[in-house]
Amino acid sequence: MVEGGVVAVSRTEFSEFFRTTWKTPHILRLAMTAGIGGLLFGYDTGVISGALLYIRDDFKSVDKNTWLQELIVSMAVGAAIFGAAVGAWMNDSLGRRKGNLSR
């Protein structure tokens, strides 16, 4: 059963999966990076939602307009995207010396 059913997996399939994962550690690093990225996105959303309660108390115009609340939350995500792009550029230009690919 594939669609929503229970799939029985044998013990040999699990052992083969773990053996392959440890032989190719880049797969494990990619999976961990993707998992941590999702975790941090959820954490950031929770933090800005908690801060939004105090922002609504201080600014009554934000309390009355839901689009302002949505704008504040989306600005946090947009700033994270912008910060990642600027950080990547700074790392390339100011960070470690670029590798020589002609070797």
Residue 5 lies in a domain: no
pLDDT tens profile 6-35 = 777 777 887 887 788 778 888 778 888 888
Residue 87 lies in domain: 39-94
Residue 16 lies in a domain: no
pLDDT for res 4: 64
Residue 103 lies in a domain: no
pLDDT for res 9: 73
Burial 33-69 (b: 16+ CB within 10 A, else e): eeeeeeeeeeeeeeebeeebeeebeeeeebeeeeeeb
pLDDT for res 47: 84
pLDDT for res 97: 62
Residue 18 lies in a domain: no
Question: Which residues of the chain fall short of a pLDDT of 70?
Answer: 1-5, 96-103
The total number of structural domains that make up the chain: 1
- Nearest Cα to 86, choosing from 97, 99, 75, 95? 95
Distance CA(47)–CA(76), nearest Å, equals 10
In the three-class reduction of DSSP (H, G, I as helix; E, B as strand; rest coil), residue 27 is classed as helix
pLDDT for res 19: 82
pLDDT for res 16: 84
